[in-house]
Amino acid sequence: MYFRLRTSDYRFSEHILMKKARILKSYWMVLFLTAAFSSCESDTQSNRDHLVFRYNEHSNITSLDPAFARNPQNIWPTNQLFNGLVQFDDSLNIQPDIAKYWEIVDSTCTYYFTLRNDVYFHRNNVFGIAGTRTVNAYDFEYSFNRLTDPKVASPGGWALNNVELVTAENDSVLKIILKQPFPPFIGMLGMRYFSVVPQEAVEFYGNDFRRNPVGTGPFQFKLWQENVKLVFRKNPIYFEKDENGEQLPYLEAVAITFLPDKQSEFLQFAQGKIDFMSGLDNSYKDEILTTEGQLQEKYKDRVKLLTIPYLNTEYLGFFKGSKTPEIQSLLLRQAINYGFDRQKMVTYLRNGMGVPAIYGFIPKGLPGFNEIEGYTYQPKRAYQLVEQYKTETGDTNPEIIIGTNSQYLDICEYIQRELEKIGIKVTIDVMPPSTLRQMKSSGELDVFRASWVADYPDAENYLSLFYSPNFTPRGPNYTHFKNATMDSLYEEALSITSIEERKLIYTKMDSIIIAEAPVVPLYYDMAIRFVSKKVSGLGINPQNFLFLKRVRKMKDSL
């Protein structure tokens, strides 16, 4: 086995361990103080746990400003605090949010959104004596233009690259004009970046708006002790009601803790101290799931398992800008794709939680996915391709180095063992996630493990990774793949409004990607939630976003 860990990363790991130790010390101190305080509470107060939803965020939340909602750990809390023009249901259908309805004028690429007049910002001193005010179209104009302000430096600025103008026609109507047709745009507006924020609060708090958020969502900010605890309270003036006319949300509060590792999070869940847990980690996967992906018997009476295809493709990428002959060779890239059993990998390393990526790059569950002929396990064919590569190039000892982080080490080790059986030597280069991201973006890794989670529910988002004008750092084309036919089809798809017609073009593009093999699709992920049976109303969706406005909890029986 060939395994490499940078010396600098040992120092990095030591630093992280020390940081985790300090965080854990703080966490247990808060837990101790909370317990001491709780012992003094009345029985009535302590019996209000059914009104509080608790979860743990093992990654660091860096900001509660929606302009910085670039990853799940930031998106989940901001989903509770903010609203946008549109929202998605659990089937990814676009629904009205603050916009009551909209009109699209295709000939001029113009969108008109008519807003509700009963949406109020969270109560805050920045609004003076009134304490709040209604949202209007000028707030959206300000919020959208703020994303492209260099002083803000929002990572979501790219989402407005195709926008020519955002302007309020009046208090109730927002107009958006695009530079060119872009059919997925309406779906993009469901991203948390496009939340409405009040200018008064942003200007008053300045850089501290990240920890003093003021939105319109079902919950409002209460307390944040970074890396220890975050608390939201029910927004008493929230505008949405359920089908029976009852005001949302049902819960009184949301409490988020920050235990820094998944194993500790699992122990908290098993003890009933948090209400749900998302994802599957090696530290507990065999404890809670069978190899067939079912709950272990001892958890069935108190845990619900929710799964759905997740808009996430896990893959290995080849950097086509590399001068390494192995990376330039289509024969070797195809041999790697044929050289390991994806079904066995998903069954034994993911406990069946995933779909082997034997089709295209577009994940299952997304319009545009098609069961095109991809790469299945064919070791003889893989071996023949390697031998053909050796004959044609004279390279008798082909070798690749895979860059990955520790979370996916088991998968890379499995691929390593399988590829060495067909004559390809594999070295695994383990590095921290931040280093992996940086080196992947700068083209310093010949082969890298990566995943692509949909920013918005349109296959264009996945195919943009292979559009040549999107070479990093200008865009998300990390492989620097270039194909003239692919580029032409991509541009053609952007001019077509009908999703059914676009899907046909998407399939053609996906087939080109598979034939040219700039990537090795590993598996289409599953969104996985372990939920306490006390909880109802917590759904699951293909983007794995967390929405708590319809959640209820049962009281503990006395």
- Neighbouring CB atoms inside 10 A of 529's CB total 20
Tokens encoding 333 = 């890239």
The pLDDT, as a whole number, for residue 6 is 46
Residues 233-262: tens digit of each pLDDT: 999 999 999 999 999 999 999 999 999 889
Residues 495-517: tens digit of each pLDDT: 898 889 999 999 999 999 999 99
The pLDDT, as a whole number, for residue 366 is 86
Instruction: Domain count for the chain, please give it.
Output: 1
The pLDDT, as a whole number, for residue 107 is 86
pLDDT band at 422 (very low <50, low <70, confident <90, very high): very high
Give the DSSP letter string of 300-358: TTTEEEEEEEEEEEEEEEE-TT---HHHH-HHHHHHHHHSS-HHHHHHHHSTT-SEE--
Tokens encoding 263 = 């194993």
Bridging pattern class, strands 110-115 and 99-105: antiparallel
Q: Is 222 helix (H, G, I), strand (E, B) or coil?
A: strand
Mean confidence (pLDDT) of the chain: 91
Output the pTM of the full model: 0.84
Q: Is 21 helix (H, G, I), strand (E, B) or coil?
A: helix
Which has the closest alpha carbon to 430: 444, 452, 409?
409
> Is residue 6 situated within a structural domain?
no
**227 vs 30: CA distance, rounded Å:** 11
pLDDT at residue 180 above 50?
Answer: yes
Mean pLDDT value across residues 444-454: 95
Mean pLDDT value across residues 519-530: 96
Share of the chain above pLDDT 90, in %: 81
Mean pLDDT value across residues 429-439: 93
**294 vs 290: CA distance, rounded Å:** 5
**3-state helix/strand/coil string of 179-192:** CCCCCCHHHHCCCH
Residues 477-488: tens digit of each pLDDT: 999 999 999 999
**297 vs 300: CA distance, rounded Å:** 5
Mean pLDDT value across residues 317-341: 97
> Is residue 519 situated within a structural domain?
no
Better-predicted residue by pLDDT, 557 or 39? 557
> Is residue 131 situated within a structural domain?
yes
pLDDT band at 46 (very low <50, low <70, confident <90, very high): low
DSSP 235: -
pLDDT at residue 35 above 70?
Answer: no
The pLDDT, as a whole number, for residue 4 is 53
> Is residue 446 situated within a structural domain?
no
pLDDT band at 292 (very low <50, low <70, confident <90, very high): confident
- Neighbouring CB atoms inside 10 A of 31's CB total 14
Sign of CA dihedral 497, 500, 505, 510: positive
Q: Are 157 and 143 in contact (CB under 8 A)?
A: no
Tokens encoding 339 = 């050289």
pLDDT band at 466 (very low <50, low <70, confident <90, very high): very high
The backbone region for 206, taken as left when phi is positive above 0, alpha when psi lies in -120 to 50, beta otherwise, is left
CA distances from 409 to 42, 376, 399, 525 (A): 49, 22, 18, 17
Q: Is 61 helix (H, G, I), strand (E, B) or coil?
A: coil
Q: Are 402 and 424 in contact (CB under 8 A)?
A: no
> Is residue 154 situated within a structural domain?
yes
> Is residue 468 situated within a structural domain?
no
> Is residue 150 situated within a structural domain?
yes
The pLDDT, as a whole number, for residue 556 is 76
> Is residue 146 situated within a structural domain?
yes
Long-range contacts of 553-557 (CB under 8 A, 24+ apart): 553/49, 553/50, 553/51, 553/52, 553/53, 553/251, 553/275, 554/50, 555/47, 555/50, 556/47, 556/49, 556/50
pLDDT band at 364 (very low <50, low <70, confident <90, very high): confident
pLDDT band at 60 (very low <50, low <70, confident <90, very high): confident
pLDDT at residue 208 above 60?
Answer: yes
Better-predicted residue by pLDDT, 12 or 465? 465
Mean pLDDT value across residues 276-294: 91
Supply the range of the domain harboring residue 173.
81-203
The pLDDT, as a whole number, for residue 365 is 79
148: domain CATH number is 3.90.76.10
Q: Are 448 and 316 in contact (CB under 8 A)?
A: yes
Which has the closest alpha carbon to 255: 458, 38, 408?
38
pLDDT band at 106 (very low <50, low <70, confident <90, very high): confident
pLDDT at residue 36 above 70?
Answer: no
Bridging pattern class, strands 519-532 and 276-278: antiparallel
The pLDDT, as a whole number, for residue 34 is 45
Mean pLDDT value across residues 298-316: 95
**95 vs 87: CA distance, rounded Å:** 5
The pLDDT, as a whole number, for residue 557 is 59
The pLDDT, as a whole number, for residue 11 is 42
For the chain, how big is the Rg over CA atoms in Å? Answer: 25
The residues facing 320 across adjacent strands are none
pLDDT at residue 41 above 60?
Answer: no
The pLDDT, as a whole number, for residue 27 is 47
Share of the chain above pLDDT 70, in %: 91
